[in-house]
Amino acid sequence: MDLIINLTLNGLATGMLIFLLAAGLTLIFGLMDVLNFAHGGLFAWGAYSGLWIYQQTGSFIIGIAGAIMTGFVLGILTEKWIIRPVYGNHVQQILITLGLMLVLSEMLKVIWGPNQLTASPPEYLKGSWELGGVIIIKYRIFIILVGLFIFAAVQYILKKTKIGLVVRAGVMNKEMVQALGINIQKVFMYVFMIGAGMAALGGVLLGPYSGVIHAGMGMEFAILAFIVVVIGGMGNFKGSVLAAILVGLSGSFMAYYVPDLSLAVNMLLMAIVLIIRPQGLFSEGGVSK
């Protein structure tokens, strides 16, 4: 019982981190039709800059805020300089965002050195609680709560506010939204900024969770996020959270019982989804070719 609860919490926490990365990917894809291969780079930048600020100031909260700000700034710059010039050309977009990924992760190595850095949670999130004989690590609960909070907040914005309405309309039909006199370009920029901010938040939360960060982790998590985006359905925000939890849980249970197969199981899941439901497990609409 103890083991199952811990594996579940572990899976949920990992799932939430992947969700923070995948949510931005799927929103950007749904609205702008851009699959951002540099998203993992933004994630890694969040981790490094957040950890650096955390170590400089000694406050984890400021570190998180700094990481999110880094994500916002990088997101705006990326959208403005990298994505906008090649807007509408799929092949060029895919190529250029991968190039950006390369530059971003190499820049990390230039600034912080090629070796991995260690990170640990602040005092008040260290340690664990004991509930009826089950040991629960505090930091995992913290990650799950942050993930749920972000999910709820984005869901609220999407469903209840005017800007959310515009975004949802944009996902359905960009041209129509533009024809109604709304500056969709500006909405693109905000969505990209928020997506990058969420990725950076995921990155900074990962640091103390896994203990070490390195420049290659952006790509590792990006692969998981792509799997999540395919399983959840491209452009489907709610699907991405469910798929992220699914991938996180299967990863954590597999890593315990059959460690060698943990990535293979997720890949298999993705292959099955691609064969039987290319529009994603949790999507209602048809597949866009």
Partner 1 sequence: MRYVQGNKMTAFILVIAAFLLLLPFVYESRNLFILLTQIFVFAIFAMSYDLLIGFTGIVSFGHAMFFGIGAYSMGIFMKKFEPTLTYFFLAVLSTIVLTALVSFIVGLLTLRLKSHFYAMLTLSLSGLFLVLAEKWRTMTYGNDGFTFRVPEFFIDRTHFYWLCLCIMVAAFLFLKRFTNSPLGRVLQAIRENEQRTESLGFQVLHYKIAASVVAGVLAGIAGILYAISLRFVNTSVFSMDITLDALLMTIIGGVGTLVGAIIGAGLIEFAHDWLTELAKEHVIFERWIIFFGIIYILVVMFFPKGIVGTFGTITSKRKKQPAVKRKEKVAG
What are the residues binding partner 1 (CB under 8 A)? Answer: 29, 35, 37, 82, 85-86, 90-92, 94-96, 98-100, 102-103, 106-107, 109-110, 219-220, 223, 226-227, 229-230, 234, 260, 263-264, 267, 270-271, 274-275, 278, 287-289
Residue 18 vs 229, nearer CB to partner 1: 229
Residue 109 vs 138, nearer CB to partner 1: 109
Which residues does residue 137 pair with via DSSP β-bridges, in sequence order? Answer: 128
Closest approach of partner 1 to the CB of residue 261, in Å: 9
Q: Are 282 and 236 in contact (CB under 8 A)?
A: yes
Residue 4 vs 98, nearer CB to partner 1: 98
Residue 113 vs 211, nearer CB to partner 1: 113
Closest approach of partner 1 to the CB of residue 208, in Å: 25
d(CA 123, CA 231): 37
Closest approach of partner 1 to the CB of residue 220, in Å: 8
Closest approach of partner 1 to the CB of residue 90, in Å: 5
Closest approach of partner 1 to the CB of residue 36, in Å: 10
Residue 213 vs 215, nearer CB to partner 1: 215
Map tokens 């990917």 to a residue. 25
Buried b (16+ CB within 10 A) or exposed e, 231-251: bbbbbbbbbbbbbbbbbbbbb
d(CA 216, CA 105): 7
Closest approach of partner 1 to the CB of residue 88, in Å: 13
Residue 112 vs 282, nearer CB to partner 1: 112
Q: Are 198 and 23 in contact (CB under 8 A)?
A: yes
Q: Alpha-carbon dihedral of residues 134, 138, 140, 143, nearest 10 degrees?
A: 150
* Three-class secondary structure of residue 131 per DSSP: strand
Residue 75 vs 121, nearer CB to partner 1: 75
Amino acid letter, residue 111: I
Closest approach of partner 1 to the CB of residue 39, in Å: 12
* Helix ranges, the chain (H): 2-32, 39-57, 60-77, 90-112, 138-160, 162-172, 174-179, 184-210, 217-232, 237-257, 262-276
